[in-house]
Amino acid sequence: MVLRIPKSLLRKGMYIESVECADLEFSGRRFLLETDTDLRTILASSAENVLVNPERSRIDCGVPVGRRLDDVNPSVPLREGEKRSQIQHAISHAAATLREGFSHIKSGKFDIDRFAPAARSIATSIRLSPPVLAEVTRLKTKDEGTYVHSLAVSGLMTGLGHLSDLGEETTRELTIAGLLHDVGKLLIPNPILNKVGKLTEAERHIVRSHPERGYQLLKRYPEVSDLILEICRFHHEALDGSGYPLGLRADRLSLPIRICTVCDVFDALTSVRPYKRAWTSTEALKWMFERGHLFDRRLVLRLGSLLN
Ligand SMILES: [Fe+2]
């Protein structure tokens, strides 16, 4: 099994099967990346991606040994265009389902089965093509922003759940958790949520209350599992304790919570916002990878391999 990752995520200790560029220096070379010189040469080359063999690497490459990416992303006999239109259709349908499901939660009539069709669409879309799903959900209108963001996070979490060997049942929960993680935003006034300029301290405080509000909203319903509650409440925590609402540190942040955090931030960075351009996947992954004190680097790598 070989990982295809952007070159910006390369580290010493990785075993390189191939550097995807025409540069003669690397042609036919398979080697353990051990020196800064080799690393700098690859970074300076015209290659965008590098094939890495996790089983021959000296460091943890983020993917459990023996896990086949094909299990997650099987070759579906569809052309790119067909995949795109299927995914676009699935997303617009799922966004409508999610909007309806959220309005029921707000009025106190939560029914987890309402989210099953959206969860199925997302699971199918991520199997069809993770990069296309990430691209299709990148553009969000003001009205549907939270819904499409939740669908994107749900899809990426499903992919990382598979890649992390979390099993079918837990991965299904991750899909639902992705759909529900920002449900607390329903209780934040829209003018604050959609404000283009800088938030005041008071507004920032209100926005930052959404994980706790979402948790309080969902915990009234016995059909919402502890795992989903935990993800909803702690998805803005950071490994070094600088996150919110509780400032939990790494030892209190489970793998499913970390998965949500990485997917959430990745989607935020790569989305078009009124005040910023969308970052490319490579830019976002690199930015997160360089912040190992906040994000689990193994998961950033795993996300890189999912999207390549
Ligand atoms: Fe959030």
DSSP codes, the chain: --EEEEGGG--TTPEEEEE-S--GGGTT--EE---HHHHHHHHHSS-SEEEEEGGG-SS--SS-TT--HHHHS---S--HHHHHHHHHHHHHHHHHHHHHHHHHHHTT---GGGGHHHHHHHHHHHHH-HHHHHHHTT---TTTHHHHHHHHHHHHHHHHHHHTT--HHHHHHHHHHHHHTTGGGGGS-HHHHT--SPPPHHHHHHHTTHHHHHHHHHTT-TTS-HHHHHHHHHTT--TTS-SSSS---GGG--HHHHHHHHHHHHHHHHS-BTTBPPPPHHHHHHHHHT-TTTS-HHHHHHHHHHH-
Model pLDDT, residue 239: 98
Distance 308 CA to ligand 1 centre (A): 25
Model pLDDT, residue 226: 97
Please indicate, yes or no, if residue 210 is contained in any of the structural domains.
yes
Asked if 38 and 118 sit in the same domain, the reply is: no
Please indicate, yes or no, if residue 45 is contained in any of the structural domains.
yes
Neighbours of 205 (CB within 10 A): 11
Of the listed ranges 50-64, 220-234, 241-255, 258-272, the one predicted with least confidence:
50-64
Instruction: Give Cβ neighbours of residue 127 (< 8 Å, ≥ 6 apart).
Output: 72, 73, 74, 76
Distance 307 CA to ligand 1 centre (A): 22
Model pLDDT, residue 56: 85
Please indicate, yes or no, if residue 208 is contained in any of the structural domains.
yes
Asked if 114 and 217 sit in the same domain, the reply is: yes
Distance 288 CA to ligand 1 centre (A): 17
Asked if 29 and 75 sit in the same domain, the reply is: no
Domain that holds residue 57: 3-61
**Is the predicted pLDDT of residue 32 greater than 50, yes or no?**
yes
Asked if 141 and 281 sit in the same domain, the reply is: yes
**Is the predicted pLDDT of residue 72 greater than 50, yes or no?**
no
Q: How confident is the model at residue 23 (pLDDT cuts 50, 70, 90)?
A: low
**Taking the CA of residue 63 as centre, how many other CA atoms within 13 Å lie in the half-sphere pointing to its CB?**
29
Please indicate, yes or no, if residue 126 is contained in any of the structural domains.
yes
Model pLDDT, residue 57: 86
Distance 275 CA to ligand 1 centre (A): 18
Distance 37 CA to ligand 1 centre (A): 40
Model pLDDT, residue 130: 93
Asked if 169 and 277 sit in the same domain, the reply is: yes
Distance 20 CA to ligand 1 centre (A): 36
Asked if 40 and 81 sit in the same domain, the reply is: no
Residues with CB under 5 A from ligand 1 (ion): 182
Asked if 149 and 76 sit in the same domain, the reply is: yes
Distance 261 CA to ligand 1 centre (A): 9
**Among 40, 61, 82, which residue terminates a domain?**
61
Q: What is the CA radius of gyration of the chain?
A: 20
Please indicate, yes or no, if residue 224 is contained in any of the structural domains.
yes
Mean pLDDT of all residues in 48-53? 82
Rank 36-40, 74-78, 116-120, 150-154 by mean pLDDT and report only the highest.
150-154
Asked if 169 and 231 sit in the same domain, the reply is: yes
Model pLDDT, residue 155: 96
Distance 125 CA to ligand 1 centre (A): 22
Asked if 55 and 80 sit in the same domain, the reply is: no
**Is the predicted pLDDT of residue 203 greater than 90, yes or no?**
yes
Asked if 44 and 15 sit in the same domain, the reply is: yes
Taking the C-alpha atoms of 269, 270, 271 and 275 in order, what is their torsion angle to the nearest 10 degrees?
Answer: 50
Distance 277 CA to ligand 1 centre (A): 20
**Among 37, 61, 85, which residue terminates a domain?**
61
Distance 31 CA to ligand 1 centre (A): 41
Rank 15-29, 127-141, 194-208 by mean pLDDT and report only the highest.
194-208
Model pLDDT, residue 94: 92
- Only one residue has tokens 């969000």, namely 140
Specify whether the CB–CB gap between 152 and 247 falls below 8 A.
Answer: no
Asked if 27 and 49 sit in the same domain, the reply is: yes
**Is the predicted pLDDT of residue 47 greater than 90, yes or no?**
no
Asked if 120 and 140 sit in the same domain, the reply is: yes
Q: How confident is the model at residue 64 (pLDDT cuts 50, 70, 90)?
A: low
**Among 16, 34, 61, which residue terminates a domain?**
61
Mean pLDDT of all residues in 95-122? 88
Please indicate, yes or no, if residue 66 is contained in any of the structural domains.
no
Burial 229-259 (b: 16+ CB within 10 A, else e): bbbbbbbbbbbeeebbbeebeeeebebbbbb
CATH assignment at residue 94: 1.10.3210.10
Distance 120 CA to ligand 1 centre (A): 22
Q: How confident is the model at residue 76 (pLDDT cuts 50, 70, 90)?
A: very low
β-strand pairing of 15-19 with 3-6: unpaired
Q: How many domains does the chain have?
A: 2
